Structure 1
Amino acid sequence: MSEYLSEELAFEILARLTIKDLARFRCVCKTWRDIINSRGFSERYRDVSSVKFVSFYDKGFYLLDVEDKLPLIETPRKLDFPLDHQSMIDESTCVLHCDGTLCVTLKNHTLLVWNPSSKRFRIVPNPGIYRDSNILGFGYDPVSNDYNIVMFMDKPDTSTAQVFEFKTGSWRDSVRIPCPDWYYRERRGTFLDQYLYWIAYRSDVDRFILCFNLSTNEYRKLSLPVYDQGATCSWLGVTSRKLCITEYGPCEEIWISVMDKTESWNKIISLSISNLISIQDNIFDYQVEFVSFTKRNDIVVTYTGYYDNVEMEGEKRVKKKVFLYKTGDNTFQEIRFCNSFAGFRLLGEYVVTSLIIDRYLFETKKM
């Protein structure tokens, strides 16, 4: 093969194939199989793949392509959920994403780890104490070369993180959480490199980011931006392989900052959504619900408006809008859908990665 095609060039070509093609090309030769099976290839495949968004509505999961299908998304791809979704998921379902695989909370307090591309899944039992408010994280530990699920468990005398290791197929205790009286902005942790992050707080003035190292199981507290004290909502995310935070302020402003290598915050975007609300919509009380970056570093903004009028039908008292903010020319574009999505809810980003991840998640260690 090297006489006609270098390994480096083959690497880049293979990284641009579909998942189905990769499954076939792994059988071409040992060199290509080793390339596709490597961790470096999985990361490269993730980097060149487009970002889509996992949405939950009408009691099902869909993939939305908000970059290539604008301004109208006509036929979102419905994911083939492997279980009876009518009885297993609802509006309280929490979804986490890592390397093309989803971790979904189920009504029976177990977890479903599911790769929509390969259609393989695994049921993970709960570690013994489960509440709908348990804090969750899902990520990859490069030291042990294993994927982990992290769940914070509150016990009568202490609080610990339970860590599920896919290689052993079992839960284990991590070190004790230093201060168990923390509260969290949302249940889902943000994964970057080998770390999970949550916005935590004890009061309006004592707010910080809790950082959990998957390799060492150590905790650290990171500071939030100094200008975020007036924020009403906050979200963590990742852009250009950097941790970012989005703050929604009381004056309908959105501030986005990224963390540099010194763990200092640099504000990169400040924008207002007030100009997106038409005159007829001013009667609605709008709240930003979801902010995230696309692969092109544009920003998806989802917000919902509520109108407190008992004489109006229930569905008409709520309006949902989705906009794409193009950072290159500072313009907004509304994302429209071909039909009305009852229960529409954006859950988070989804990037397809190569099938090799299934070896870590769905094959337990042979004893």
Structure 2
Amino acid sequence: MRRARGGKMRRRQRRDDFVAPEIPFDLMIHILGRLPAKSLMRFRCVSKLWSGLIRSRYFTNLYLTVASSRLLPRPLGLYMSLVENNSNDYLELWEYPRKHQLLSLRLSSSINSSESSLKPELTFPGMGGHKMVVLRGLILYSLCRKACIYNPTTRQDVILPAIKSKILDQREPKYVHYFFGHDPVHDHYKIVCTIVIHPRDRGKITSEHWVFLLEPGGFWKKVEYDDQPHMPTREGFCINGVIYYLAFTHTCRDNVYCFDVRSEEFSKIQAPLEVSEFGQSVGFIEHGGKPALLDYTHIGETGVSELWVLEVDGGTWLRKSLVLKPCQRHLVDDIDILDLSVHGTGQNDEVILALCWPCYLLCYDLIKNDLRKVIINREITPDQHLFVYVKVMDKCENIMHLEL
């Protein structure tokens, strides 16, 4: 018995003297880079070392790389901005929105192979606004003449300073468009703002272009553009450090404008001649890492839509006709094409088409040529005068702390 007690005491003493080996710093970085974003937000309180590491730009980029390379697909998630206004005038909506809120939606259930539903996960009163741009897990939206950036992972909302431009003081109708870009060489985020005066008599267009570097001490800087003033007509997107968007001038309507985020220079590409005008039933999307035009004008009548993909190197357009499967034609038979609008692309190059009322989405997989319906489980009535803007969140979770 004495030997047994002595053995237990020695083993207990050995356990008390045991010191776990210190984890190498490089290994700790790789371990943290594979944890959920919510856990990282809590781990910032562990020590100053962990807080500084998690908030560093190096770790943020590492986390984005790891998150984008995960093989497991994330469930469909999107943010929907609801702006209530009693007028259908774009100018009044932009200047004086009555009520606005941002909804976070998640896929809740699958009714059948061609239909599923989304339910509101979180509601953010006072956020959202006119138009939204999603870039590397960040959301850019405009509200009352100011650009706002929201990070869903850190729940941080930053309002950029107002642009001090004399063109905003003029009484002519003004349009403001914001674009979001990232320079992969210098790892810089930049916001581009185009302010346009377009007289009601359809006279000559006047435009200004401003750039904001999203860094501490950032400010709006005016960028000169020597070509004809132009007016953007669609939300833009950034691919490999270049922002693409559609715009027209007082002499030409068919141009794709390119803004190099690094050099801050403009260029333009002629759109396909077959697409004479960018009507409401033409969407500008990213497809396979390239800019593309989706013409769904006749999808309700014939089930056929046209896809034009831009070969950036040669500046040429490749055309492809998409024909809906007969079993899916019923999803578009009773739709007024004028009520249908493109809101970007989601995972697997699915084009998101949204209807304001009744409020639901159509997800069109351009690779598999497959269409499905996604119902939004939120009651929206036509008397609310809602302007609905939908953006699908990419699979990246950005843990960057926004500082100005």
TM-score range, shorter chain: 0.7 to 0.9
The 2-side partners of 1:132 and 1:21 are apart by 44
Of residues 222, 227, 231, the one that matches 1:183 is 231
Of residues 294, 318, 322, the one that matches 1:246 is 294
The 1-side partners of 2:343 and 2:213 are apart by 31
The 2-side partners of 1:68 and 1:327 are apart by 23
The TM-score with structure 2 as length reference comes to 0.68
Which deviates the most, 337-346 or 269-278?
A: 269-278
1:152 corresponds to which residue? 194
2:183 corresponds to which residue? 141
Of residues 67, 78, 101, the one that matches 2:138 is 101
1:73 corresponds to which residue? 117
> For residues 252-263 of structure 1, what are the structure 2 equivalents within 5 Å?
252=300, 253-262=304-313, 263=315
Sort the Cα spacing of 1:67 and 1:276 in 2 relative to 1 into closer, same or farther, 3 A: farther
Contact 1:246–1:291 (CA under 8 A) maintained in structure 2:
no
Contact 1:324–1:335 (CA under 8 A) maintained in structure 2:
yes
> For residues 1-367 of structure 1, what are the structure 2 equivalents within 5 Å?
17-23=35-41, 37-46=59-68, 48=70, 50=74, 52-57=77-82, 59-65=100-106, 71-73=115-117, 75-80=119-124, 84-85=126-127, 93-107=130-144, 109-129=145-165, 130=168, 133-154=175-196, 159-167=207-215, 168-180=217-229, 182-186=230-234, 188-202=235-249, 206-229=253-276, 232=279, 233-250=281-298, 252=300, 253-262=304-313, 263-268=315-320, 270-271=322-323, 275-276=329-330, 281=334, 286-303=338-355, 319-327=358-366, 330-342=369-381, 343=386, 345-351=388-394, 353-358=396-401, 362-364=402-404
Q: CA deviation at 1:149?
A: 1.0
Sort the Cα spacing of 1:329 and 1:199 in 2 relative to 1 into closer, same or farther, 3 A: closer
Sort the Cα spacing of 1:254 and 1:171 in 2 relative to 1 into closer, same or farther, 3 A: same
Q: CA deviation at 1:335?
A: 1.6
Give the 3-state SS of the residue equivalent to 2:285 in structure 1. Answer: strand
Sort the Cα spacing of 1:125 and 1:154 in 2 relative to 1 into closer, same or farther, 3 A: same
Sort the Cα spacing of 1:200 and 1:154 in 2 relative to 1 into closer, same or farther, 3 A: closer
Sort the Cα spacing of 1:63 and 1:339 in 2 relative to 1 into closer, same or farther, 3 A: closer
Sort the Cα spacing of 1:97 and 1:230 in 2 relative to 1 into closer, same or farther, 3 A: closer
The TM-score with structure 1 as length reference comes to 0.73
User: What letter matches 2:351 in structure 1?
Assistant: I
The alignment of Structure 1 onto Structure 2 pairs a total of residues equal to 335
Sort the Cα spacing of 1:74 and 1:24 in 2 relative to 1 into closer, same or farther, 3 A: same
Which blocks of at least 5 consecutive residues in structure 1 are unaligned? 305-317
Give the 3-state SS of the residue equivalent to 1:265 in structure 2. Answer: strand
The 2-side partners of 1:163 and 1:35 are apart by 21
2:95 corresponds to which residue? none
Sort the Cα spacing of 1:68 and 1:132 in 2 relative to 1 into closer, same or farther, 3 A: farther
The 1-side partners of 2:309 and 2:66 are apart by 22
The 1-side partners of 2:395 and 2:337 are apart by 36
1:307 corresponds to which residue? none
Which blocks of at least 5 consecutive residues in structure 2 are unaligned? 1-19, 85-99, 198-203
Q: CA deviation at 1:218?
A: 0.9
Larger Rg: 2
Q: CA deviation at 1:231?
A: 5.9
The 1-side partners of 2:296 and 2:250 are apart by 18
Root-mean-square deviation (CA, aligned residues, Å) is 4.0
Sort the Cα spacing of 1:289 and 1:112 in 2 relative to 1 into closer, same or farther, 3 A: same
